[in-house]
Amino acid sequence: MDKIKKMSDIFGIVIHGGAGTILKASMTAEKEAKYREKLAESINTGYEILESGGSSLDAVEKAVNVMEDSPLFNAGKGAVFTHDGKNEQDASLMDGKTLQCGAVAGVRHIKNPISLARLVMEKSEHVLLISDGAEAFAQTQGVTLVDEDYFYTDQRWKQLQLSIKREKQSHTDVTALDHTPDEKHGTVGAVAVDKAGNLAAATSSGGMTNKKFGRVGDSPLIGAGNYANDKTCAVSTTGYGEYFIRLVTAYDVAALMEYRKLSLKEAADLVIYEKLTQLGGSGGLIAIDGWGNITMPFNSEGMYRGFMLSNGKKEIKIFKD
Amino acid sequence: MDKIKKMSDIFGIVIHGGAGTILKASMTAEKEAKYREKLAESINTGYEILESGGSSLDAVEKAVNVMEDSPLFNAGKGAVFTHDGKNEQDASLMDGKTLQCGAVAGVRHIKNPISLARLVMEKSEHVLLISDGAEAFAQTQGVTLVDEDYFYTDQRWKQLQLSIKREKQSHTDVTALDHTPDEKHGTVGAVAVDKAGNLAAATSSGGMTNKKFGRVGDSPLIGAGNYANDKTCAVSTTGYGEYFIRLVTAYDVAALMEYRKLSLKEAADLVIYEKLTQLGGSGGLIAIDGWGNITMPFNSEGMYRGFMLSNGKKEIKIFKD
């Protein structure tokens, strides 16, 4: 890779906690406060690492850990249930300095999938490990597997029962899966630029409620749900993953910047508001570049999101405005 | 997607049977004849479909089936063994007209993984299904699972024993996997343009000899090992998959064409001879565009490859020249 010159003194972090149909009507003040509090905790965790001279890689991992450990988001503790009542999680992480990356898919006993993805990157020669194999690798690295009970939450269990009931009522074929967007899928993610000007991206997902057949979305797929390159940007996506895979969304933002010389915002807007929308997909992304520019476009009703930059700019939002 | 005008009357197919250290010294005339014969059969199978007005999607699937059914290539019947003596296969396929795609990873009882990937594309709302879940889906589609014995070949079993022996001798840590390039990994693939001007790409892989931990390479990952878009090109890659994932190689060829206006050959050369080589990766790719241009660059010692176009051009090659 070409040597990258430090572009700016700005450092900072952007996070998301999933995009989808987040109706204002069903969002109580109390619920909204809980989300805002946890998003702030995630941002602060990452920002403090950056402020003390830590790496963007550490910042995005630890920021994502905060959301993984909360039942509020569809990742880690709050992962949704598959049709069989299991939790199958996916995650990936990328270092924009080296283009090293790591990912796991279909893991069932990992408290923090993003941290396992980092171990895959740093302690194996591979990028993507799946299912039981990924968990066997985790054990060689001293990661304690957690019992499936850890991921049980009443809210997610009720979502599964509701989804199964709806599926039966609609006599949907077992392979024509229901995709009403209401909280069926979600993802958490973080992107950051550190004081050294290095970028990193992390994405972690609990998958899709009532999913069958070992479906894997875009979250663990480098280029689709996650991408980082110091030359351009770091990106984490959330939404209806199949569309992000078909559009190679995360890398496309970087390619539009590098090859067509678009700004971060122009590239991300084109990808979400034109490409994703025209193909019929829904969701959004967060992105940051080496100059400390950030953007958080989405075409769904809401996206849990926020950022904090060293120039004093910060924000936490859920709805369009 | 924008409507694409038919670019040329040329139709045709390009295939590969894997790239790597294919030493002339260890290639007997008899062995080479067998490879050439099977490559020709694969090309002819695809070409006949195109000639009779069939789709590029049918052509690439059936061309890949021929190689999957042969013990010569690391896909289907000839898949290499994992460390545990299993065969875990990956495949993906993409329709350049619609950007629809399908993929499977870590399947153990599927005779033709590329055909299962096509079923995922056409009969599910998903892109990527993994492991047991993918096989459960296969059964809902009437696909008969084959016994693991189907994939047993003496040659591959000996390769595994040799790899395990070498690993023990070198006292390699269980997580620092051996990656000598000699026949450890390989892939088959096909790309085609049909009479209607539509592009398609297919990639199928038996993985990596002695692989552990459910490692998945680039073959089932849209954008990395496989990509097709009527606006630009269809690409199938082969080689050390982790590098193709990090570089999002297959989509990068398309992005360089669309955003930087490079020709197919310029884009593919840049990706293989500059990006892949500079990052330390080895392998190659095959690509075709809507004008009937084709290219087959690789930076390894050899790549099983060939093509046939309706303008009369055809070729089958193994070594650099």
Q: What is the DSSP string of B191-229?
A: EEE-TT--EEEEEEE--BTT--TTEE-STTSBTTTEEE-
Beta strand ranges found along chain A (DSSP E): 12-20, 89-95, 101-107, 128-130, 188-193, 199-205, 215-216, 226-228, 233-239, 283-289, 294-295, 302-309, 314-319
Would you say residue B1 has pLDDT above 70?
no
- Condensed to tens digits (0 to 9), the pLDDT of residues A69-93 reads 999 999 999 999 999 999 999 999 9
Q: Report the pLDDT value the prediction gives residue A105, as an integer from 0 to 100.
A: 98
DSSP for residue B274: I
Nearest CA in chain A to B228: A246
Return d(Cα B244, Cα A171) in angstroms, integer. 42
Return d(Cα A121, Cα A97) in angstroms, integer. 13
- Rounded to a whole number, what is the distance in Å from the CA of A33 to chain B's nearest CA? 35
- Condensed to tens digits (0 to 9), the pLDDT of residues A257-276 reads 999 999 999 999 999 999 99
Contact A222 B222 (CB under 8 A): no
Taking CB atoms and an 8 Å cutoff, what residues of chain A touch B248? 222-223, 227, 248, 251
Nearest CA in chain B to A262: B259
- Condensed to tens digits (0 to 9), the pLDDT of residues B272-315 reads 999 999 999 999 999 999 999 999 999 999 999 999 999 999 99
Would you say residue B70 has pLDDT above 70?
yes
- Residue with structure tokens 């050369």? B269
Taking CB atoms and an 8 Å cutoff, what residues of chain B touch A134? 213-214
Return d(Cα B99, Cα A52) in angstroms, integer. 44
Would you say residue A12 has pLDDT above 80?
yes
Q: Best mutation site among A215, A243, A261 for testing chain B: the one with the most B CBs within 10 Å?
A: A215
Contact A100 B246 (CB under 8 A): yes
Nearest CA in chain A to B215: A129
- Rounded to a whole number, what is the distance in Å from the CA of B312 to chain A's nearest CA? 33
Cα–chain center distance at B94: 12
Taking CB atoms and an 8 Å cutoff, what residues of chain A touch B126? 177, 213, 215, 242
Say how many CB pairs under 8 Å bridge A and B. Answer: 168
Return d(Cα A82, Cα A151) in angstroms, integer. 12
**Among the listed residues B4, B95, B91, B11, the one whose alpha carbon sits nearest the alpha carbon of residue B49:** B11
- Band (pLDDT 50/70/90 cuts) for residue A173 is very low
- Band (pLDDT 50/70/90 cuts) for residue A177 is very low
Parse chain A into domains and list their residue ranges.
12-319
> Which residue of B125, B223, B255 is in closest CB contact with A259?
B255
Beta pairing partners, A16: A189, A305
Return d(Cα B253, Cα B293) in angstroms, integer. 14
Contact B133 A101 (CB under 8 A): no
Query: Quick one: tokens of B114?
Result: 């590329």
Query: Do residues B186 and B205 make contact, with C-beta atoms less than 8 angstroms apart?
Result: yes
Q: Report the pLDDT value the prediction gives residue A271, as an integer from 0 to 100.
A: 98
Taking CB atoms and an 8 Å cutoff, what residues of chain B touch A83? none
- How large is the average pLDDT for residues B125-133? 96
Q: Which of A47-56, A210-219, B183-192 has the highest mean pLDDT?
A: A47-56
Q: Per residue in B194-226, is it b (16+ CB within 10 Å) or e — as a string?
A: bbebbbbbbbbbbbbbbbbbbbbbbbbbbbbbb
Which residues, in sequence order, are CB contacts of A48 under 8 Å at separation 6+?
A: none
Contact B242 A140 (CB under 8 A): no
Q: Report the pLDDT value the prediction gives residue A155, as an integer from 0 to 100.
A: 87
Query: Quick one: tokens of B135?
Result: 């096989």
Query: Quick one: tokens of B42?
Result: 């694969």
Please report which residue ranges of B54-130 form alpha helices under DSSP H: 56-68, 113-123
Return d(Cα B140, Cα B132) in angstroms, integer. 13
Positions of A annotated as catalytic residues are 187
Return d(Cα A253, Cα A261) in angstroms, integer. 11
Return d(Cα B57, Cα B35) in angstroms, integer. 24
Query: Quick one: tokens of B163?
Result: 């790899």
Contact B133 A259 (CB under 8 A): no
Would you say residue A175 has pLDDT above 70?
no
Amino acid symbol at B259: Y
Nearest CA in chain B to A129: B215
- Rounded to a whole number, what is the distance in Å from the CA of A223 to chain B's nearest CA? 6
Q: Report the pLDDT value the prediction gives residue B7, as an integer from 0 to 100.
A: 67
Taking CB atoms and an 8 Å cutoff, what residues of chain A touch B278? 1
> Which residue of B125, B130, B259 is in closest CB contact with A131?
B130
Q: Report the pLDDT value the prediction gives residue A207, as an integer from 0 to 100.
A: 87
Phi and psi angles of residue B80, each rounded to the nearest 5 degrees, phi first: -75, 165
Q: Which of A157-161, B63-67, B153-157 has the highest mean pLDDT?
A: B63-67
Taking CB atoms and an 8 Å cutoff, what residues of chain B touch A109? none
Q: Per residue in B41-56, is it b (16+ CB within 10 Å) or e — as a string?
A: ebbbbbbebbbeebbb
Contact A130 B255 (CB under 8 A): no
Contact A216 B176 (CB under 8 A): no
- Rounded to a whole number, what is the distance in Å from the CA of B100 to chain A's nearest CA? 7
Q: Report the pLDDT value the prediction gives residue B168, as an integer from 0 to 100.
A: 85
Query: Quick one: tokens of A234?
Result: 């770091």
Q: Which range, of A260-264, B178-182, B187-191, B232-236, averages the lowest pLDDT?
A: B178-182
Taking CB atoms and an 8 Å cutoff, what residues of chain A touch B125? 176-177, 179, 242
Which residues, in sequence order, are CB contacts of A320 under 8 Å at separation 6+?
A: A301, A302
Q: Report the pLDDT value the prediction gives residue A219, as an integer from 0 to 100.
A: 97
- How large is the average pLDDT for residues A298-313? 96
- Band (pLDDT 50/70/90 cuts) for residue A171 is low
- Rounded to a whole number, what is the distance in Å from the CA of A107 to chain B's nearest CA? 11
Nearest CA in chain A to B217: A128
Q: At the top level of CATH, which class does the domain B12-319 belong to?
A: alpha beta
Cα–chain center distance at A20: 13
Would you say residue B6 has pLDDT above 80?
no
* pTM of the predicted model over 0.80: yes
Contact A221 B222 (CB under 8 A): yes
Contact A245 B127 (CB under 8 A): yes
Under DSSP, is residue B308 helix (H, G, I), strand (E, B) or coil? strand
Q: Report the pLDDT value the prediction gives residue A96, as an integer from 0 to 100.
A: 98
- Band (pLDDT 50/70/90 cuts) for residue B155 is confident
Taking CB atoms and an 8 Å cutoff, what residues of chain A touch B279? 1, 99
Nearest CA in chain A to B120: A175
**Among the listed residues B7, B12, B1, B13, the one whose alpha carbon sits nearest the alpha carbon of residue B96:** B1
- Band (pLDDT 50/70/90 cuts) for residue A3 is very low
C-alpha distances in angstroms, A180 versus A27, A77, A210?
Answer: 18, 23, 11
The DSSP string of A78-136 is GPPPPTTS---EEEEEEETTT--EEEEEEESS-S-HHHHHHHHHHHSS-SEEEHHHHHH
- Rounded to a whole number, what is the distance in Å from the CA of B242 to chain A's nearest CA? 6
> Which residue of A105, A136, A224 is in closest CB contact with B213?
A136
Q: Best mutation site among B88, B128, B172 for testing chain A: the one with the most A CBs within 10 Å?
A: B128
- Band (pLDDT 50/70/90 cuts) for residue A11 is very high
**Among the listed residues A12, A5, A19, A3, the one whose alpha carbon sits nearest the alpha carbon of residue A285:** A19
Positions of B annotated as catalytic residues are 187
- Residue with structure tokens 């569809």? A74
